[in-house]
Amino acid sequence: MTSEEDEAWEHVQRIGSLNRKRQIEKSKTAQEFYEELRNGVIEEVAQHIERLTGFGKDTVDGLTIYIRDLKK
């Protein structure tokens, strides 16, 4: 391998080590993981509702507020 390739592999390994370290430091409980995932899905739904054009702005705003209130 060239020295550029060696440096690139070392960089990849360093990043992998840092990511593993962060995962260990910030490991989430199953409940935290579930709630984060759930909140992400709820936010995605709210964003899609905001794009609806068949209803008035007040109706769409009310729906998105209601949906976002479902987050934990």
Q: Which residue has the tokens 């984060």?
A: 36
| Residue 3 structure tokens | 């020295």
The domain locations on the chain are 3-68
In this prediction, residue 5 carries a pLDDT of 80
Q: Which parts of the chain are beta strand (E)?
A: none
Is-contact 39 70, C-beta < 8 A? no
State the Cα–Cα distance between residues 59 and 32, nearest whole angstrom: 32
Q: What digits encode the pLDDT tens for the residues 4-49?
A: 887 777 877 777 776 666 666 677 889 999 999 999 999 999 999 9
Whether this prediction's pTM lies above 0.85 is answered by: no
